[in-house]
Structure 1
């Protein structure tokens, strides 16, 4: 499985390299002046518009070829946390998108267009929300200071293809370090330390700006130094450090500098975040641990009271029971205790929905969620859980109506398109089913497959439904144009 993933990621590296090669060719070779330390420069290396296009293309490839997590509950938490930081960022030129990578390495990364990925292993090691937020603030700073574009401009004397290969390899290394190193070697990269945010000056700048952002957003400014210390201690005696330390060299002076910078900001007590603890518990119970071990681990944690937030440990235990198909035990925890004290908690509502569906009682889930969906019809956790419950209850038209409304403002959420496709299939509306499948393929950058699905949709459309056929033809043209635009990059 790992070998196939690495091969796919190397293909992705080639696509990124091809894109960035032509971008690098547009770098101006006439200006040999030193690069100023202002993050909004480097527009001659790559414009903001092109940066967003490349970022979107990379994200589409990563969806299909990297171990990304599609989890509305975790997505909601991470995006909310990231947004709390972004509103305090300087030079934020575009909306940021935060996503999870199912990988136990301590790593996070940023790339073109405000895309920031966080490995589940990093979340598992973080002790506080301020520590996690410090990593996000650091990566946000890399984006707002345009360190990738500045790195490209700083190397303008190098071969454009070498620069493209270098950056393409680094982007792959973000999600899979081994595949990325292979890509960089193929591109004849001379040194890992020359990559993007690996340079000392970029790291210092991201640390400085990130800690300031962290404080302005109301977190503990010591979060960065605390997390640095955790990493340094965990890997003190390891011969080969993890990807995070390779890409973000960690020294005693850097930890001391982070402590010193934190002293410049007001000291504040930040209470334990229940949402952080629930998100961490979900990652451990669903993604990090095997089912039987998760039951054993969280049972012991609850019995020994070895937790910061009791509800988080109970929630994790319920998720573990669900994975071992002990739904009655999970229901007793979720419905019998947690929801009675916090009826609107999205983590609990999501688990309760899955329990009702697993026990063949989807209408109970629909009834439970209805008042919350009415108040927040476009919340991803509520809308997608309600649509899933409606499909399970054979209320296909209701599910389709809800998903259409949700997709008006969340048109790149693949789970919504997948649920829409399922609802259309079960309702025997095959033309629309193929159209929804086409949208899923497009989100993966598989435009040829998307066009194939639309052609199937065209064949299933009724002969007298000229409007639908016209829409399908228009969408086919859009997908072909997008594929050509990507090739032109």
Structure 2
């Protein structure tokens, strides 16, 4: 499924999460501790930063920042990549200790090699990280490191250590640096605007944090069945690439990489048994998808993937074929793409990467029936799978079957209420059928997810005007407006 772009919408947003600064100010103001000598202490698992910020407050702040990022950073609404990344992340989280909340892994369309974690178990991954990983163990090593930052509550501990900083200043710096990690160009502009660029290091992870995250991350990596040597391998790759650059990678701005760290990673990995980890097709399909959709241009990518096939320079032939088919699709050579994808589906009928491209081809060629039949059969076995549900709903909207599309989307949103793409599709479906009341209601939820609360309330007021004599709907709209206003008040009083 092709991503539904937020660019046009976010250009119109105003007042996006200025309240987040108040949240951080309030939180940091309560983070004072009396013993100055405990700044660099490493508490035992389970009690880290308990006096700095509560778990509940951390979750709330994480939600605020995630909404802010949706509105300002180039987050990908790609169900395939989201599902792959969340599955990989869950494999690691299940092996971690001190997990206090569900983790949310998300992807950002940025070619820089980077990953970052923040409050509430949110971990962002740049497409550049996957593109530059040679195998899944390397990618997993970075994610495991970020998981360790969250479980050890390093951000909360850093707040605890900032006893002499101005709360408002620190809040502004942190919000800007978070955006800088997600979108360096926009984030550095924000840093400059707050005169905080020189103080970026004040919230960077300390070397003690990094050593602890390395130790725990490598342990989680090994326990999850991945190669523990992958961390040192990837660090070495970063160090080598850094020598060839005039500016540091975004990852290195918050994760210092002295030579001793690479040696320590190798030493820690040696304490685990050597693993011959089998490659997973899903990693190579995800990497091929990122290459074909976000790197280079379609004509050049066709040459790249065809060369892989000719020289047999691949781990899985299927991933090279998929990359070629996707590149043909991006170049609007639908017949060539269809021929390859039919072959791939014939040998692997349940593969979501193949089904997704088949759905896109059906829309591009306006041949809806085969894809609807194929996805409907899959939906019987996986009724709430995001790739299947959202692709099927999208095709039904294109076909004009709005009733069935809205039924699927409503069912999906009951399980996944914060799925931005599903809400966008639902809004599109209502617009197609001229159901203006419902369209404005769903659009309000889209704005709420990107923290544009005033705009969400405006949409609900517009929906109210379309309600006519439907008193029950009017009551629901008034109640939702009250909920959003209460959310704004909660943000200010965290």
2:42 to 37, 40, 53: 37
**Equivalent of 1:49, from 28, 36, 56?**
56
Query: Among residues 204, 222, 227, which one is paired with 1:196 in the alignment?
Result: 204
TM-score by structure 2 length?
0.93
Q: Which residue pairs with 1:427 in the alignment?
A: 433
Q: Structure 1 residues 461 and 161, CA, compared in 2 at 3 Å: closer, same or farther?
A: closer
Distance 1:352 1:429 in 2: 30
> Does the Cα contact within 8 Å between 1:8 and 1:65 map onto a contact in 2?
no
1:410-449 superposed matches below 5 A: 410-449=416-455
Tell me the equivalent position of 1:405. Answer: 411
Where does residue 20 of structure 1 map in the other structure? 24
Corresponding residue number in structure 2 for 1:306: 313
63-72 vs 466-475, which moves further = 466-475
Residues 201-350 of structure 1 mapped to structure 2, 5 A cutoff: 201-335=208-342, 337-350=343-356
How far does residue 249 in structure 1 lie from its aligned partner after superposition?
A: 1.4
User: Helix, strand or coil: the match of 1:99?
Assistant: strand
Structure 2: gaps of 5 or more residues: 1-7
Q: What do the CA deviations read for 1:192-244 (whole angstroms, capped 9, x no partner)?
A: 443232x1000000000000000111111111111111111222232322111
1:59 partnered with 2:82: no
**Which of 375, 383, 394 is the matching residue for 1:377?**
383
The RMSD of aligned alpha carbons is 2.3
Superposition deviation, residue 182 in structure 1:
4.6
For the residues of structure 1 that align with 2:35 and 2:263, how far apart are their CA atoms? 37
List gaps (5 residues or longer) in structure 1: none
Structure 1 CA distance for aligned equivalents of residues 58 and 195 of structure 2: 22
TM-score (normalised: structure 1)? 0.94
Shift of 1:416: 0.4
The answer on 1:68 being equivalent to 2:68 is no
Q: Is the contact made by 2:427 and 2:440 (CA closer than 8 Å) also made in structure 1?
A: yes
The alpha-carbon deviation at position 15 of structure 1 amounts to 5.3
Cα distance in 2 for residues equivalent to 1:15 and 1:109: 22
Distance in 1 (alpha carbons) for counterparts of 2:201 and 2:148: 19
Q: CA deviation at 1:21?
A: 1.8
Looking at structure 1, the residues matched to 367 and 108 of structure 2 have their Cα atoms a distance apart, in angstroms, of: 32
Contact 1:108-1:244 within 8 A present in 2 as well: yes
Residue 89 of structure 1 is matched in structure 2 by 96
Q: How many angstroms does 1:428 deviate by?
A: 2.3
State how far apart, in whole Å, the 1-side matches of 2:19 and 2:406 are: 35
Deviations 1:284-323 (A, max 9, x none): 1001222222122212222222211111111011111111
Whole-Å separation in 2 of the counterparts to 1:375 and 1:312: 25
1:471 has 2:476 as partner: yes
SS at match of 1:292: helix
1:71-99 per-residue CA deviation (whole Å, 9 max, x = no partner) reads: 00000000000011111111110111111
Shift of the 245–29 alpha-carbon distance from structure 1 to 2, 3 Å rule, reads: closer
CA, structure 1 residues 347+8, in 2 after alignment: closer, same or farther (shift >3 Å)?
same
**Which 4+ stretches in 1 moved above 6 angstroms?**
11-14
SS at 1:100 equivalent = strand
The C-alpha deviation readout for 1:422-452, integer Å capped at 9, x for no partner, is 1112222221111111111111101111111
1:133-163 deviation digits (Å, cap 9, x = unpaired)? 0110000111111111100111213222332
Structure 2 SS opposite 1:441? helix
Name the CA distance, whole Å, in 2 between partners of 1:187 and 1:19.
Answer: 20
**Higher RCO (C-alpha 8 Å, min separation 6):** 2
C-alpha distance after superposition, 1:42-61 (max 9, x if no partner): 23322111111111111111
Q: Output one character per residue of 1:91-126: Cα deviation in whole Å (capped at 9) or x when no partner.
A: 110111111111100000001111100011111000
CA contact (8 A) 2:204 2:255 kept: no
Equivalents in 2 of 1:148, 1:8: separation in Å? Answer: 32
